[in-house]
Structure 1
Amino acid sequence: MTKTKEVESEIQFRKPNKDDGAAVWELVKHTGVLDVNSSYSYLMWCEIFSETSIVVEREGETVGFISGFINPNTPNTLFIWQVAVHESQRGKGLGTKMLFELLNRTFCKDIQYVEATVSPSNIPSQHLFMGLAKKLETNCVMANYFLSIDFPRTGHEDEQLYKIGPIQEENKQIKG
């Protein structure tokens, strides 16, 4: 068995539940780059939005999390709120694998677009979403969304909207 296969076999992708809330909060806090929401919000997110969110565990430790929801104004769109990857798993394609796992869920069968907001300094997220569009063989359109002046505190960067799609069903299988 190759080293890559050994590592992949240790990783478990699954729907979160409220018992994951505390570990997810810790993971997000530990990234040092994501906005950390209240611990209550992660408990609620893991419970209520479990169909459109994902937890990744390795050897019993939470090493990945995506919070997402289906936008009620555009029911064919999965909005990704946060992508958190533990530093030990960065650079291994875990963010992309989590996104494909979500897109392949029965609950997301009608999803034709993925949206996310990304700040100008968040180069890894820019690469993640542009790479997702490339793997899905579709468009990635970027536009201004929230400006720094929209936020109640100073120092928050602008957030650009990344809109990926339309997504063809046959392209939802992860490609190397």
Structure 2
Amino acid sequence: MNARNDLLWDTLELRHPLPTDGYALNQLVAASPPLDTNSVYCNLLQCQHFADTSVAALIKGELVGFISAYCPPNDSETLFVWQVVVSEALRGSGLGKRMLTWLIDQPGTEKAQRLTTSITPGNRASWSLFESFARDCGAIPVKSMLFDRHRHFAGEHDDEYLLQIAPLPNRPDKPINHHLDDLRAGLRFSNRRWLD
């Protein structure tokens, strides 16, 4: 790592979001196409209701990265990452992976055995981030169709693929077959499935 990156990481603060981060999050996402924007109200709720399972990255008080995530109500063993955003100036710096790594070590996510997210086929940055994260965890990434462009989006949005990563590090040891069975079970309703 070079001196510039060392200085950058020395000034980086990772913490759970506060409702006062909602507007800054809205502006950061709006400045980061092709990410889907939400209303400021939605972002305020993310920062309040999902604070324990999300992370805000700040440098000198400025929001430069954010991960919105939650555990689905019927599945406390899954952490679903809704959106990852990194300011343009810091893309490629490794901030996204730092935020993911920080997040899975927090008390609000300790029950999660697996991480899931949805990614469009052309979002190379997200595929790269999550595949690299899976490698670092020694985890098995599994992808399947989640929402079809024509069936679910009436042709107005790209396909969304579900990527599942398990096992997460620092969790109680379970045999790898347990994780494979869980991941495959999540694909039962998919028309296409494969292990990468």
TM-score (norm 1): 0.92
Equivalent residues in 2 for 1:1-176, closer than 5 Å: 2-152=3-153, 154-169=155-170
Deviates more, 1:39-48 or 1:149-158: 149-158
CA distance 1:37–1:153, change in 2 (3 Å): farther
Give 1:5 deviation, angstroms: 1.8
Give 1:74 deviation, angstroms: 1.8
Deviations 1:25-48 (A, max 9, x none): 000110011100111100011011
5+ residue gaps, structure 1, are 171-176
The AA in structure 2 aligned to 1:26 is: Q
2:188 alignment partner in structure 1: none
CA distance 1:7–1:125, change in 2 (3 Å): same
Identity of aligned residues (%): 34
Q: Measure the CA separation in 2 of the matches of 1:113 and 1:76.
A: 6
The AA in structure 1 aligned to 2:157 is: H
Q: Measure the CA separation in 2 of the matches of 1:84 and 1:2.
A: 24
5+ residue gaps, structure 2, are 172-196
3-state SS of 1:169 partner:
coil
Give 1:56 deviation, angstroms: 0.6
Deviant stretches of 4+, over 6 Å: none
The AA in structure 2 aligned to 1:169 is: N
Q: Measure the CA separation in 2 of the matches of 1:36 and 1:84.
A: 11
Q: Measure the CA separation in 1 of the matches of 2:60 and 2:91.
A: 16
TM-score (norm 2): 0.83
Q: Measure the CA separation in 1 of the matches of 2:151 and 2:65.
A: 29
Give 1:152 deviation, angstroms: 4.6
Deviates more, 1:148-157 or 1:47-56: 148-157
Deviations 1:55-96 (A, max 9, x none): 111122110000000122221110000000000110011110
Q: Measure the CA separation in 2 of the matches of 1:126 and 1:152.
A: 21
The AA in structure 1 aligned to 2:121 is: P
Deviations 1:4-33 (A, max 9, x none): 221101111111111000000000110011
Q: Measure the CA separation in 1 of the matches of 2:74 and 2:159.
A: 23
3-state SS of 1:131 partner:
helix
Deviations 1:101-128 (A, max 9, x none): 1100012111110000000010000011
Give 1:168 deviation, angstroms: 3.4
Q: Measure the CA separation in 2 of the matches of 1:22 and 1:153.
A: 30
The AA in structure 1 aligned to 2:133 is: L
Q: Which has the larger radius of gyration?
A: 2
Deviates more, 1:152-161 or 1:82-91: 152-161
